[in-house]
Amino acid sequence: MAELRSKADIICLISHCGEEVDKRLASTVPGIDVIVGGHSHSRLPSGEFIWRTEDLMANEVNGTIIVQAHQWGGELGRCDLLFKKGPAGRWHVDRYRARLIPITAAIQPDAGVAAVIDQYWNPIALYYAEVIGEAAGDFSSRCDDWAEYNLVADVIRETFKTEIELENMGGIRSPLVKGKITRGDLVALDPFNNTVVTFKITGLQLRKLLKKYTPAVSGVRYRMENGELLEVRINGKPLQDDRRYTGATNSHFADKVLKGVGVEGQDTGKQRLEVLIAYIRHKGTIRPVYDGRRVVIGSSQLKHGAHKAE
């Protein structure tokens, strides 16, 4: 930070770590003027903050202003900084105002910006509009049963012929609705560039992983109540702690979770999205599956399973 300060009066950090991490960062690294954050989809500020004088505002930590503009382009974040030159000739933030501006239909697009967007979007619009297949019903959630996660996990397990498949909750970003499925729909469902990773895992390692992360699964049925893993079956048979099982997952989960339980995978180099597209194109019509394979009671899915693929 001292080196940065020698080259710049004002330091603005662009972060995608989430609100809590940004607060810890501001607490432990003094000297950051502004953190513009993301990932946690927080509204910072939640209202409009007026000009600061000497009092710290609610969205300041250790003198660092922290702002974040919620999610999905629904609001525009604006933070106005008023600088003042000190006795040594260096500028510092004297006052600021931060607010979120809702983006509504009443806001007219800027013609110049729209023209630039059209220049890039129009050539690829047909590509994303391509119909890949059809959904016979809505892929949504019923308690702990998430049809879109079941779909992805089943497709990967079937394609790579493994005994189990694991997917992090939070890694599938959009449901599928009944009707035609376009490439754009599948990109919205799986917007990341994750590849498929295969691995071998012992029953004991899998037991620890299920208890800590409560992932979406294929080839596995398990039940968690109040943090206790009560039942695990692999393809209809009780889990054996000393047996090694073949599995598949996405590269994010392999890096963030599998390595944590001592499992090293082999990256196939095949993008998960393209595997999903090829499967649906071949099948033509897919149907949502709700089979109670994953039951989590009294335990936060977001706490244990939200290792979002990014």
pLDDT digits (tens, 9 = 90+) for 112-129: 999 999 999 999 999 999
Q: Is the pLDDT of residue 99 over 60?
A: yes
State residue 51's pLDDT score: 52
Q: Is the pLDDT of residue 93 over 70?
A: yes
State residue 29's pLDDT score: 94
Task: Say which amino acid occupies 304.
Answer: H
In CATH, what number is assigned to the domain containing residue 170?
3.90.780.10
Q: Which domain holds residue 291?
A: 126-305
3-state secondary structure of 39: coil
Q: Is the pLDDT of residue 6 over 70?
A: yes
**Bridge-partner residues for 80, per DSSP?**
97
Quote the tokens at residue 63: 């003198």
In Å, what is the CA distance from 127 to each residue of 123, 175, 182, 184, 193? 8, 20, 9, 8, 18
Average pLDDT of the residues of the chain: 91
CA distance linking residue 165 with residue 245, whole number of Å: 10
Q: If you ran DSSP here, which 8-state letter would residue 241 be given? A: T
State residue 50's pLDDT score: 53
Run of H or E residues at 246: strand 244-250
Work out the average pLDDT over 92-101: 89
Same domain, 8 and 153: no
Contact between 36 and 6 (Cβ < 8 Å): no
Same domain, 96 and 136: no
CA distance linking residue 309 with residue 169, whole number of Å: 9
CA distance linking residue 58 with residue 18, whole number of Å: 17
| Domain count along the chain | 2
Neighbours of 258 (CB within 10 A): 21
**Bridge-partner residues for 123, per DSSP?**
none
Contact between 172 and 301 (Cβ < 8 Å): no
Same domain, 157 and 297: yes
CA distance linking residue 167 with residue 257, whole number of Å: 10
Confidence class for position 247, pLDDT limits 50, 70, 90: very high
CA distance linking residue 93 with residue 56, whole number of Å: 12
Q: Is the pLDDT of residue 299 over 70?
A: no
Same domain, 150 and 220: yes
Confidence class for position 46, pLDDT limits 50, 70, 90: low
**Bridge-partner residues for 164, per DSSP?**
247
Q: Which of the two residues, 162 and 143, has the higher pLDDT score?
A: 162
Q: Is the pLDDT of residue 12 over 80?
A: yes
Same domain, 97 and 139: no
Same domain, 24 and 158: no
State residue 49's pLDDT score: 54
Contacts of 105 (CB under 8 A, 6+ apart): none
Work out the average pLDDT over 194-204: 98
Percent of the chain scored above 90 by pLDDT?
Answer: 80
Q: Which of the two residues, 89 and 301, has the higher pLDDT score?
A: 89
121 within some domain: no
Q: Is the pLDDT of residue 159 over 80?
A: yes
